[in-house]
Amino acid sequence: MSLEEQELSELKSKIGRNPTSTELQIVAAEWSEHCSYKSSKRHLKMLPMDGPLVIKEKGYDSGVLDVGDGYVVTAHIESHNHPSAVEPYGGAATGVGGVIRDILSAGTRPIAIFDGLRFGNIEKDLQARWLFKNAVTGIADYGNCLGIPTIGGEVEFDECYENYALVDVAALGFGKKENLIKNHAKKDDIVVLMGGATGRDGIGGSQFASDSLESEDRSAVQIPDPFIEKLIIEAVLQARDDGLIHAMKDLGGGGLSCAISETADALDIGIEMDVDKVHTRESDMHPDEIMVSESQERMLVVTSKSKLKKLEEICKKFHIGCSVIGQVKFDHQMHVTKGKKTFANLPTDVVANATLLDLPSKEPTYLKTIETEKKFKPVSDYSKTLMKLLASPNIASKIWVYGQYDHEVGIRTVVKPGADAAVLRLDNGKYLSAKIDGNPKQCYINPREGAIGCFEEACRNVVCTGAKPIGMLDHLQFGNPKDPEIFWTFLESLKGLTDFAKSFGIPCVGGKVSLYNETPSGPIKPTPVIGVIGLIDKKPSVPQKISKGDCLLIIGDTKDEMGGSEFFEYIHKFVGGKCPKVNFDDSKKNMKSVLSLIKNNLVKSVHDCSKGGLAVAVSELTMTNQIGCKVSLDKVPGDKLDVDRILFSESHSRYLLAFEKKNLAQIESLLNKNKVSFKQIGQFGGSDIEFSNKTKSIIKLNVERTRKTWLHSLPNLVLHGKK
């Protein structure tokens, strides 16, 4: 956990002397992969980050989108993978805490949390089950206590995460544009540390997260205290209302080292600080420890001397710590003292800007043969196969997870978790929709098309609620970037995301890169997770309850794209095949058509076709609406395929629409006009899910029985070890 030799000599030549031990600690934290993005930064620039709604301000940790009428939405995504793999409860909880403070830093109130969780095979692996259970409790205990609703996310299990965990947390904030913190500093301004005391937890956390996980270094994991975080949120927002904050930054990875150097660098100033002024949990902490501790629930605030008294009063009201630790200088130095003695004195641009790497990349050899399929034993009973998929951990209902999260607090949640995307009401009468999606199975088979698929799936989910995508968050999680084959998969995913973002005009408003995600048996599969934010102008008319006689229509072609599908991987235990590919033109046409059908009130419910394919998507509609449906597979548009491929292919850009029969003609004419591929494939009614091919019955399952299995299999597995 220190600088590499070449980095050390670079530091020496930049400052012209040997660094002190405190300086070494500071630079090692800030130059870690986690804080500096040294492997990825030069490539991340390819993503489009501007757009008509994007508001840019220096020093923001979150993206800001203008949603009209003087209001803004902020968004950010983070992960806490390494800590969660060692201590899932604290790791996941502090992951929530960190991203919430990023939202707060811009001066907006956090209004929603999303979680993407990934673990090993919980059917076999007890460690994975333990990690899963405790990560969920960690998120629940933290988010619930803050009173911020957790309204969406995803849970996935794959053997590539054995003995490991991916815990991604995204958050949204909301506020008035005029209340955004315009980060700036004036002469004689002071630097204040607000919130929890600095202790010995999370020492070296950012370096820990920038390494492969070899030893279980629990002391590097931060300790959560959601109660303090809640007090900080209220104190900061009150200070914001009173105009007491000139600039603000949350303390995350790298602790004070990063917060001080990055604030100074962003504001083009110097900061002089005294570690003796920092309120600490223990009395004998060394300056090095104080500078790199990642104790949670702390905010760095730049304010003026005249405003200090009011700020102190607010902190006193909430009983949170408030220490003046330093002052603003105009020498571009980060000067750390203990009393009168200097422990570090470094140029801020040296600290805040690690030398960027240009790592080599090479196409992985495994990709050369990955598309080749093998011969499978024919399925004898598709009803059984579908039931097995609906009970599988990746597809089974996640109500056991989101039922533990308060998803109603804040009284904004219009569309609750469990639907395609959650919808929140905003104070200006508009509605916000958001979803995060990942698909490591497809990304492993084709890093570029897989990543695009995640992006399109998140868009589809948001579109299903009637919202137009306005911004995207990307979280890129890969193994050791020094392996050229892994770095190649990173670059391919990034290029794919960039192409999609540019073509669809969706700016990237925030993101995160997490590398060195390695398990004892090797790197994780490439796991980009994409969050999409959408906006709806008036109250969404979907979803409405589906009733007897309503029609089922599919938009989009079903193709021979079985690679990475649950059918191949879960049923046939086969990794490989052709990865689903998004056709940008079709994707745009389909999105546009769905949005106008919803806008014209022609449909009751729209559902995206993804994991488990058409068979699972239809089943989900029937189970959530508690009504049967008869589907003719021979009518499904697309390639001419065998029934198993029609049922379970995970081709993108497909939507299921449920609507009243009387609207059929109008819907068909709109879709024909837009030159969309579509077909009415079924009708709702009865109490069974039925799929037939011409006259032959393929699947027949009772909705209620299937629903029970789908609802209960995940809790049964987690709590009792069986489905």
Partner 1 sequence: MKVGVVVFPGSNCDRDMYHVLTDVFHLDTEYFWHEKGLPKNIDAVVLPGGFSYGDRLRAGVIAAHSPIIKDVRKMAEKGIPILGVCNGFQILVESGLLPGVLLKNESLNFMCEWTNLIVENNKTPFTNQFKLHEKIPIPIANGEGRYYVDDDTMKKLKKNNQIVFRYSKIVNGSANRIAGVCNEDGNVVGMMPHPERAVESDINPVDNKPSSKIFESLIKKIGVEN
Q: Is 368 in the site for partner 1 (CB under 8 A)?
A: no
Can residue 174 be called a binding residue for partner 1 (CB under 8 A)? no
Scan for tokens 């600095």, then name that residue: 198
Stretch that binds partner 1, among 28-36, 134-142, 194-202, 444-452 (CB under 8 A): 134-142
Of 31, 132, 405, 516, the one binding partner 1 (CB under 8 A) is: 405
Nearest approach, Cβ of residue 196 and partner 1 (Å): 12
* Distances from the Cα of 489 to the Cα of 117, 128, 222, 530, 533, angstroms: 21, 26, 31, 16, 26
User: Minimal distance in Å, beta carbon 403 to partner 1?
Assistant: 6
Compute the least distance from the CB of residue 106 to partner 1, in Å: 19
CB of 411 to partner 1, least distance (A): 5
Query: 134 or 446: whose CB is closer to partner 1?
Result: 134
Q: Name the amino acid, one letter, at 558.
A: T
Residue 232 or 278 having the CB closest to partner 1: 232
Question: Using the rule CB under 8 A, which residue among 61, 162, 406, 586 binds partner 1?
Answer: 406
305 three-state secondary structure: helix
Question: Considering the complex, what minimum distance in angstroms separates the CB of residue 140 from partner 1?
Answer: 5
**Of the two residues 110 and 564, which places its CB atom closer to partner 1 in the complex?**
110
Least CB distance to partner 1 at residue 687 (A): 22
407 is an active site residue: no
| Helix/strand/coil percent split, the chain, to 5 | 40, 25, 35
Closer Cβ to partner 1, 234 or 668, answer by number: 234
DSSP letters along 7-72, please?
HHHHHHHHHTSPPPHHHHHHHHHHTSHHHH-TTTHHHHTTS----TTEE--TT-SSEEEEEETTEE
CB nearer to partner 1: pick between 225 and 561 = 225
Kind of pairing between the strands at 190-195 and 696-702: unpaired
Closest approach, Cβ 391 to partner 1, in A, equals: 21
Cβ-count burial of 452 within 10 angstroms (0-12 exposed, 13-18 middle, 19+ buried)? buried
Distance CA 72, CA 427 (A): 11
Residue 404 CB, shortest distance to partner 1, in Å, is 5
Residue closer to partner 1 by CB (options 147, 686) is 147
Task: Find out whether 684 and 629 touch, Cβ atoms under 8 Å.
Answer: yes
Where does this chain touch partner 1 (CB under 8 A) — which range of 118-126, 183-191, 401-409, 460-468?
A: 401-409
Burial (CB count <10 Å: 0-12, 13-18, 19+), residue 51: middle
Binding test (CB under 8 A) with partner 1, winner from 8, 409, 670, 711: 409
Residue 312 makes contact with partner 1 by CB under 8 A: no
β-sheet bridge partners, residue 688: 702
355, 404, 677, 680: which one binds partner 1 (CB under 8 A): 404
C-beta of 227 vs 330, nearer to partner 1: 227
**Largest Cα–Cα distance of the chain, in whole Å?**
89
Between CA 1 and CA 200 the distance in angstroms is 16
Least distance (Å) between residue 540 CB and partner 1: 10
User: Applying CB under 8 A, does 711 fall inside the site for partner 1?
Assistant: no
Q: Which of residues 208-237 bind partner 1 (CB under 8 A)?
A: 225-227, 230-231
- SS3 (DSSP) at 424: strand
**Cβ-based burial of 338 (10 A; exposed 0-12, middle 13-18, buried ≥19):** middle
Residues 534-553 as x/- pattern, contact with partner 1 by CB under 8 A = -----x--------------
DSSP string spanning 691-710?
EEETTEEEEEEEHHHHHHHH
**Residue closer to partner 1 (CB basis): 148 or 656:** 148
Distance set, CA 190 to CA 244, 280, 325 (Å): 12, 19, 8
Nearer to partner 1, 141 or 373 (CB): 141
d(CA 570, CA 299): 45
CB of 147 to partner 1, least distance (A): 2
**C-alpha span between 450 and 440 (Å, rounded):** 8
Whether the bond between 543 and the residue before it is cis, its omega within 30 degrees of 0, is: yes
Residue 643 CA to residue 646 CA, distance in Å, equals 5
Q: How far apart are CA 179 and CA 171, in angstroms?
A: 19
CB of 408 to partner 1, least distance (A): 5
H or E stretch including 324?
strand 321-329
Nearest of 440, 452, 433 to residue 587 by alpha carbon: 452
CA 682, CA 553: separation in Å to the nearest integer?
7
Q: How many residues bind partner 1 (CB under 8 A)?
A: 31
Site for partner 1 in 53-82 (CB under 8 A): none
Positions in 428-447 near partner 1 (CB under 8 A): none
Scanning 181-189, 333-341, 398-406, 617-625 for contacts with partner 1 by CB under 8 A, the matching segment is: 398-406
Residue with tokens 């995803």: 154
Say which of 76, 80, 407, 652 is annotated catalytic: 80
Query: What does the per-residue mask of binding to partner 1 show for 89-128, with x meaning CB under 8 A?
Result: ----------------------------------------
Choices 405-413, 475-483, 585-593, 693-701; region in contact with partner 1 by CB under 8 A = 405-413
Reduced to 3 states (helix: H, G, I; strand: E, B; else coil), residue 361 is coil
| Residue 317 is a binding residue for partner 1 (CB under 8 A) | yes
Residue whose structure tokens are 């995970």: 650
Across 419-565, the runs of DSSP E, i.e. the strands, are 422-425, 431-438, 468-477, 508-514, 518-519, 522-523, 527-536, 551-555
Work out whether strand 341-347 and strand 413-415 pair parallel, antiparallel, or are unpaired: unpaired
CB of residue 617 to partner 1, shortest distance in Å? 22
Measured from the CB atom, is 34 or 398 closer to partner 1?
Answer: 398
Helix, strand, or coil (residue 228): helix
Residue of the chain from 309, 319, 375, 640 that contacts partner 1 (CB under 8 A): 319
Contacting residue, 407, 512, 581, 679, with partner 1 by CB under 8 A: 407
Least Å distance between CB 512 and partner 1? Answer: 27
* Binding residue for partner 1, selected from 50, 268, 408, 537, defined by CB under 8 A: 408
Candidates 318, 478, 570, 710; binder of partner 1 (CB under 8 A) is: 318
The residues in 469-498 that bind partner 1, with binding defined as CB under 8 A, are none
Q: Give me the sign of the Cα torsion angle 377, 380, 385, 388.
A: negative
- Cα separations in angstroms, 577 against 412, 436, 650: 42, 25, 12
Do residues 319 and 253 make contact, with C-beta atoms less than 8 angstroms apart?
no
- Decide: is 411 part of the binding site for partner 1 (CB under 8 A): yes
C-alpha span between 689 and 206 (Å, rounded): 50
Task: Give the length of the chain.
Answer: 723
413 makes contact with partner 1 (CB under 8 A):
yes
Residue 425 engages partner 1 in binding (rule: CB under 8 A): yes
Q: By CB under 8 A, what part of segment 140-169 binds partner 1?
A: 140-141, 144-147
Q: Binding to partner 1 by residue 286, rule CB under 8 A?
A: no
Q: Which of 34, 76, 82, 246 is catalytic?
A: 34
184 catalytically annotated: no
Residues that bind partner 1 (CB under 8 A): 137, 140-141, 144-147, 225-227, 230-231, 317-319, 402-414, 416, 425, 539
Catalytic residues: 34, 80
